[in-house]
Amino acid sequence: MPSLEGRSAVVTGASSGIGAATALTLAREGARVVGGARRTDRIPASVTPLELDVTDSASCERFARAAVEELGGGIDILVNAAGLALGRDLFDDSSEADERTVLETNVNGLIRMTRLCLPHLRDGGHIVNIGSVAGRQAYEKGALYVTSKFAVRGFTYALREDLLGRPIHITTVDPGLVETDFSRVRFRGDEETARKVYQGVEAMKPEDIADCVLFAVTRPPHVNVDELVVKALAQSSGGRILRTES
């Protein structure tokens, strides 16, 4: 795997799970990494922490300015990992507030960060969006999250079209079940329900997804990995997970 020595990276959602593991992996491979999140105290030590709320345009603008300055004027890799789901309910029980939070974070936030970082992406640069298997096939009781991740995939492919002819790569990495704080957030701090999501099945680790990001960003310049879909072996789709009896 080629080294990332001398390259610079920005990772959103760097305080937990996939974003934290990706930021760590890129730093380990030699990149200078700036990580953004609201909980900057949880961003790994080898990463420069900067406060970021992707739902807030002013926060995103401040973050992008500070990140570019910290990285010496240019970005080689942008990883959009900040995201969340809220609830596992029929759409009948959806609320305006939850809809706004999920769409503002997963869709508008990702688009906003991409728009703000794009002018600073160096030739040969790379945008990696963390999508989901939920953005490829719907599952029950996840309407807003599914909608948001379909949008991420649509945006990734639309941007691929607009970037054609420019030396910028773009990839969507679409994971299945990964054991992170995702379920804790989805179930609003209900530890018991969150734990059950990972019971009786060997879920992927955040590092497995960080490996996929690393693979995508270390291909030769003439290669663009459009999408990587990666699931736990015991999972065939968003809605179908084989669990052992406990």
Nearer to ligand NAP, 111 or 122 (CB): 111
CB of 106 to ligand NAP, least distance (A): 6
CA distance 58 to 56: 6
CB of 103 to ligand NAP, least distance (A): 12
Which of 25, 48, 55, 172 is the binder for ligand NAP (CB under 6 A)? 55
Is residue 84 a contact residue for ligand NAP (CB under 6 A)? yes
Is residue 17 a contact residue for ligand NAP (CB under 6 A)? yes
CB of 150 to ligand NAP, least distance (A): 12
Which of 130, 214, 217, 228 is the binder for ligand NAP (CB under 6 A)? 130
- If one counts every other C-beta atom within 10 angstroms of the C-beta of residue 62, the result is 15
CB of 201 to ligand NAP, least distance (A): 11
Helix axis angle for 143-163 and 96-103, nearest 10°, is: 30
CA distance 28 to 227: 24
- The amino acid at residue 84 is L
CB of 64 to ligand NAP, least distance (A): 13
- Please, which of residues 20-49 interact with ligand NAP by CB under 6 A? 37-39
Nearer to ligand NAP, 72 or 189 (CB): 189
Nearer to ligand NAP, 8 or 132 (CB): 132
Is residue 83 a contact residue for ligand NAP (CB under 6 A)? yes
145 is annotated as an active-site residue = yes
Is residue 100 a contact residue for ligand NAP (CB under 6 A)? no
Helix axis angle for 17-28 and 206-217, nearest 10°, is: 50
CB-based contact 80:130 (threshold 8 Å): yes
Residue with token string 């879909």: 229
| Structure tokens, 205 | 């680790």
- Please, which of residues 171-210 interact with ligand NAP by CB under 6 A? 175, 177-178, 180-182, 185, 206
Smallest CA-to-CA distance from 129 within 99, 160, 98 is with 160
Q: What is the DSSP letter of 125?
A: E
CA distance 164 to 169: 9
Smallest CA-to-CA distance from 126 within 61, 77, 160 is with 77
Binding site for ligand NAP (CB under 6 A): 12-13, 15-19, 37-39, 52-55, 81-84, 105, 130, 132, 175, 177-178, 180-182, 185, 206
Catalytic residues: 145
